[in-house]
Each structure stands twice: as C-alpha cells, then as structure tokens.
Amino acid sequence: MTDAEDPIDTLRRFRHSIDNIDAALIYLLAERFKCTKQVGRLKAEHKMPPSDPAREEQQIARLRNLAEEADLDPEFAHKWFSFVVAEVIQHHEAAADGA
C-alpha cells in the first residue's frame, strides 16, 4: 500500500483476493470428494475397510511437512485433514452399506 492509497480500496482488493481463493478452495474440495467417492465405491465393491489408518498417518505427516514449507501452522493442517477424512470415511461407510 502506498501512502496515497485509500485503505478502503486496499481492503477491498484484499477481500477480492480472499474471495477468489475461497472459491478455488471450494472447487478443489469438490474435486477431492469426487475422487474419494470413487475410492469409496471401489472399496465397497471389493469389501475393503472404509478407512486406512496407515494411509491417514502417512498423509498427516506429509501434510504437516507441506504446511511447514508453506509457512502454515502444521497443527491447523492436521485438524483440517482430520475433518476432511472424517467426512470421507462417512461416505465410504455409506458406500459399503449400499447407500
């Protein structure tokens, strides 16, 4: 921001960027869930368990490292991943139950 720039305009620009990022995140999450629903159907079809704790632990470690590299709180990344995985497991359980 320059000295001559209006703080309201600057705030508007920041918020516009945030809105664009939020939209991208929603679309990325939608794509992620499309993939995990396919995984759930495959697991159900082959009588595989809905969750894979070993895979989840690998992902948590990987995402914590990525978060550190990106200067994001690794604990936040862990919480976010845990929240998403809980939803994914529900979808996989529903697929296993034939829903």
In a domain, 2, yes or no: no
Number of structural domains, the chain? 1
**What's the pTM value of the predicted model, to 2 decimals?**
0.82
CA dihedral for 27, 33, 35, 41, sign (positive or negative): negative
Instruction: Provide the domain limits for residue 75.
Output: 7-96
How far apart CA 66 and CA 73 sit, in angstroms, is 10
- Residue 47's region, left for phi above 0, alpha for psi from -120 to 50, else beta, is left
Question: Would you give per-residue pLDDT tens digits along the chain (99 residues)?
Answer: 556 889 999 999 999 999 999 999 999 999 999 999 999 999 999 999 999 999 999 999 999 999 999 999 999 999 999 999 999 999 999 888 886
How far apart CA 23 and CA 65 sit, in angstroms, is 25
DSSP 50-68: S--HHHHHHHHHHHHHHHH
In a domain, 1, yes or no: no
